[in-house]
Homo-oligomer: A and B are copies of this chain.
Amino acid sequence: MNSVVKIFKIGGGIIDHEAELQEFLRLFSGISGPKILVHGGGKGASEMLRQLGIAPRMVNGRRITDAATLDLVTMFYAGKTNKQIVATLQKLGINALGLTGADGNVIQAVKRPVREIDYGFVGDLSEASVNTHMLHQFLALGLTPVLCPINHDGQGQLLNTNADTIAASVAKALCKQYEVELHFCFEKRGVLTDISDETSVIPKINLADYALLKESGVIADGMLPKLENAFDALQFGVEKVIIEHALYIDDTLHTTLCLT
């Protein structure tokens, strides 16, 4: 049997709140076995862009990453956020290793082709983007990789990449060698039947349930791409996907996604 690797993804909702981030990291440090943390951005980069007089450019709610923005988000995600997380994990006894995709060439992205919209320096991924050999070597050394949402194209260009996509791509790439559990951590206890009722968590959703929940409109908006990513990963061979609250990752109340 393959050994288990647990991949956790956290986003801006946690990163933007210092005390909550610290609490998540404390819980994460208690997770046994090989693990990987993938973190997203947060509002800090946008605030600093404004302070520097660089107006965030959004099209259809998505950020356009021009050269100045890429520079700034690289500083923020790979410099500030990533290194604060790594230093905190070290304090908690976890030998964390902060990485962009360029470090150890762990993830190579492809600049998103320009169609109707030019997203700028944004990278798209496939499971072939992930250097499973190097991640395996890092895990074998007892290290906990901490991936930030900046990758490279192998030609010297850094590229901004969605953290959910990184987490799913890493999960899909590693599942040939490991039994992979993918944890999407956010500000709810899981997929809710009633968004205003925190206790209305659906404990388990399989592919058939998912089709029904989509049809009935219970799953909508921001949850849809997350679950699309998740079921795609499951169909690719990822063992289990868990949707859970970042501050209750040690709790049994969450949503488990599986194929059947």
Cβ of B95 and Cβ of A157 under 8 Å apart? no
Q: Within residues 149 to 202 of chain A, which ones have a CB less than 8 A from any CB in chain B?
A: 150, 152, 154-158
Given contacts A52-B51, A52-B52, A141-B137, contact A102 B83 (CB under 8 A): yes
- Interface segment, one of A4-12, A85-93, A216-224, A246-254: A85-93
Question: Interface residues of A: mostly helix, strand, loop or mixed?
Answer: helix
Cβ of A105 and Cβ of B78 under 8 Å apart? no
Instruction: Answer whether residue A75 sits at the interface, using C-beta atoms and an 8 A cutoff.
Output: yes
Chain A residues within CB distance 8 Å of chain B: 48, 51-52, 71, 74-80, 82-84, 86-88, 90-91, 95-98, 100, 102-105, 134, 137, 141, 143, 150, 152, 154-158
- State in angstroms the CA–CA spacing of A111 and B102 once bound together: 30
**What residues of chain B lie closer than 8 Å to A134, measured between beta carbons?**
141
**What residues of chain B lie closer than 8 Å to A141, measured between beta carbons?**
104, 134, 137
Cβ of A79 and Cβ of B88 under 8 Å apart? no
B87, B137, B143, B154: the one within 8 Å of A157 (CB): B87
- State in angstroms the CA–CA spacing of A155 and B152 once bound together: 31
Cβ of B71 and Cβ of A78 under 8 Å apart? no
CB of A60 to closest CB in B, whole Å: 28
**What residues of chain B lie closer than 8 Å to A155, measured between beta carbons?**
91
Cβ of A102 and Cβ of B78 under 8 Å apart? no
Query: What are 19 sample pairs from A and B whose C-beta atoms fall under 8 A apart?
Result: A51-B52, A75-B75, A75-B76, A75-B79, A77-B79, A78-B83, A79-B79, A79-B82, A83-B158, A84-B158, A86-B103, A87-B102, A87-B157, A91-B154, A95-B105, A97-B103, A98-B100, A98-B102, A134-B141
Cβ of A83 and Cβ of B154 under 8 Å apart? no
**What residues of chain B lie closer than 8 Å to A143, measured between beta carbons?**
104
**What residues of chain B lie closer than 8 Å to A102, measured between beta carbons?**
83, 86-87, 90, 96, 98
Report which residue of A97, A103, A143, A157 has the largest number of chain B beta carbons within 10 angstroms of its beta carbon. A103
